[in-house]
């Protein structure tokens, strides 16, 4: 499955996800968007299908040998609570963010309907390729099409990064400078010697395949990423550096405890800092001309973030909802693709680029399926990062609206955050979370608080329009 996924779509040469993503990001013609989406899904998904059908019973046999009903239960057991309870918890979290997602979907669909006409029905699901992502994983690329106030101060720093000649190393150093501003222990010199920040000439390397690795023991953290000078890549760098710092901070623990208290904490570790990349912060490091705080600039900034973080939530939720059903036998091979699109429609409100057959295998194009790597941790991270951000803002002595807080430069916040990192898995996550925030449950209320001005604005914009699908 991994070979099929990473080889990509081959005729005279092989093309990976990055090739098709490029087309989705840049093509003007909706037919080109559809064709790129289809080429990737038909070229990689279909050949993976028989492999996955063989794989499911094998993986389940392994899980049963370890004392679990199936692989889904085994994955859910990583959360310091009964696996069935975790299932209920994730449903509760989704229910609390779903109204915000619905408002965002409603607004974005209307913009796309205006642009594409009947291609995007006014009351139906959005054709997935028009979100300019292979999975509608995020809607970052829609920013120019949906920006609320085009004339308000700029939010996206891509142009500034190019104008200031940011090279890959400087991009990563910019992220590292944030961690160091918090007083966190710097990454070891080997990180800078051994990491790969740009595609090496003449070598085969999958891009985008950003990841942090522990190669030779816990103290040997490295990163692989083909860094481009874009706002999105700057965000990804903060995400990956979070992993690096988390793992670096745990190196003193016994090997079995060298993991995050909760898989979602690991994925949230760097994203928490993204929430501090406010216009004021980006201005302070010379990437935005002003730290504009007008109402319009605020809505722009929150929309920019929501296209990434709110748009992601239903996808983050449904990938493993689908796999849990597959591993438990509730969804059988004949229904693989149908069930996938039911969930895509139900949670994301998106539909396929063209009619799909039951013999297609569209979940197969998600790399985490080929790698058999759980996905729910990204959903948990998408929620808990706001809770961690709120707790760190309190440590930093900040008392204003949550979306205005940046912990940049706060040693108090940094010390508290590094304490969480250093705990690794030596305590249940509920205890680790309580130590930092005083809370024992993962809740979306901090996320809702952060986006409150945007949600109110969206409600106003959507007034009188039929939302939902």
Residues that bind Zn ion (CB under 5 A): 267
Q: How far is the CB of 243 from Zn ion (least distance, A)?
A: 6
Using the minimum distance from each CB to Zn ion, give the nearer residue, 267 or 320.
267
Q: How far is the CB of 443 from Zn ion (least distance, A)?
A: 22
Using the minimum distance from each CB to Zn ion, give the nearer residue, 379 or 457.
379
Question: Residue 29, exposed/middle/buried by CB under 10 A (0-12, 13-18, 19+)?
Answer: exposed
Q: How far is the CB of 182 from Zn ion (least distance, A)?
A: 19
Using the minimum distance from each CB to Zn ion, give the nearer residue, 235 or 341.
235
Q: Shortest Cβ contact with Zn ion: which residue?
A: 267
Q: How far is the CB of 265 from Zn ion (least distance, A)?
A: 11
Using the minimum distance from each CB to Zn ion, give the nearer residue, 211 or 465.
211
Using the minimum distance from each CB to Zn ion, give the nearer residue, 228 or 267.
267
Using the minimum distance from each CB to Zn ion, give the nearer residue, 176 or 267.
267
Q: How far is the CB of 368 from Zn ion (least distance, A)?
A: 11
Q: How far is the CB of 116 from Zn ion (least distance, A)?
A: 33
Using the minimum distance from each CB to Zn ion, give the nearer residue, 341 or 417.
417
Q: How far is the CB of 235 from Zn ion (least distance, A)?
A: 12
Q: How far is the CB of 219 from Zn ion (least distance, A)?
A: 20
What would the two tokens of residue 170 be? 């400087």
């Amino acid at each position: 499955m991994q070979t099929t996924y990473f080889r990509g779509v081959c005729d005279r040469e092989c093309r990976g996800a990055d090739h098709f993503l490029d087309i989705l990001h840049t093509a003007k013609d909706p037919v080109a968007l559809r064709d790129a989406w289809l080429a990737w899904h038909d070229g990689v998904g279909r050949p993976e299908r028989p492999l996955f059908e063989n794989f499911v019973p094998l993986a389940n046999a392994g899980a049963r040998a370890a004392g679990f009903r199936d692989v889904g239960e085994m994955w859910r057991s990583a959360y310091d609570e009964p696996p069935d309870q975790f299932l209920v918890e994730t449903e509760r979290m989704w229910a609390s963010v779903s109204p915000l997602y619905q408002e965002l979907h409603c607004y974005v669909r209307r913009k796309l309907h205006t642009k594409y006409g009947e291609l995007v029905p006014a009351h139906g699901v959005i054709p997935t390729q028009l979100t300019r992502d292979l999975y509608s994983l995020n809607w970052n690329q829609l920013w120019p099409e949906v920006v609320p106030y085009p004339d308000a101060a700029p939010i996206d720093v891509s142009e500034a990064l190019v104008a200031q000649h940011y090279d890959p190393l400087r991009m990563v150093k910019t992220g590292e400078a944030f961690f160091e501003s918090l007083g966190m222990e710097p990454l070891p010199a080997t990180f800078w010697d051994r990491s790969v920040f740009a595609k090496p000439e003449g070598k085969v390397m999958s891009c985008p395949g950003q990841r942090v690795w522990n190669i030779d023991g816990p103290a040997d953290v490295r990163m692989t990423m083909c860094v481009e000078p874009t706002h999105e890549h700057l965000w990804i760098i903060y995400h990956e550096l979070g992993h690096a710092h988390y793992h670096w901070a745990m190196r003193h623990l016994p090997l079995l405890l060298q993991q995050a208290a909760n898989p979602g904490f690991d994925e949230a570790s760097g994203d928490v800092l993204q929430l501090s990349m406010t216009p004021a912060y980006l201005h302070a490091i010379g990437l935005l001309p002003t730290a504009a705080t007008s109402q319009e600039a605020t809505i722009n900034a929150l929309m920019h973030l929501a296209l990434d973080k709110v748009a992601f939530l239903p996808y983050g939720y449904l990938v493993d909802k689908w796999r849990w059903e597959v591993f438990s036998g509730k969804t059988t091979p004949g229904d693989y693709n149908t069930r996938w699109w039911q969930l895509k429609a139900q949670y994301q409100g998106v539909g396929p680029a063209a009619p799909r057959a039951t013999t297609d295998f569209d979940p197969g194009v998600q790399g985490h399926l080929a790698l058999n790597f759980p996905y729910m941790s990204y959903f948990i991270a998408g929620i808990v990062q706001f809770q961690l951000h709120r707790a760190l803002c309190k440590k930093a002595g900040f008392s204003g609206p949550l979306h205005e807080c940046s912990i940049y430069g706060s040693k108090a916040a940094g010390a508290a955050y590094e304490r969480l990192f250093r705990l690794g898995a030596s305590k249940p996550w509920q205890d680790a979370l309580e130590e930092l925030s005083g809370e024992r449950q993962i809740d979306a209320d901090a996320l809702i608080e952060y986006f409150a001005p945007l949600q109110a604005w969206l409600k106003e914009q959507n007034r009188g329009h039929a939302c939902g699908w």
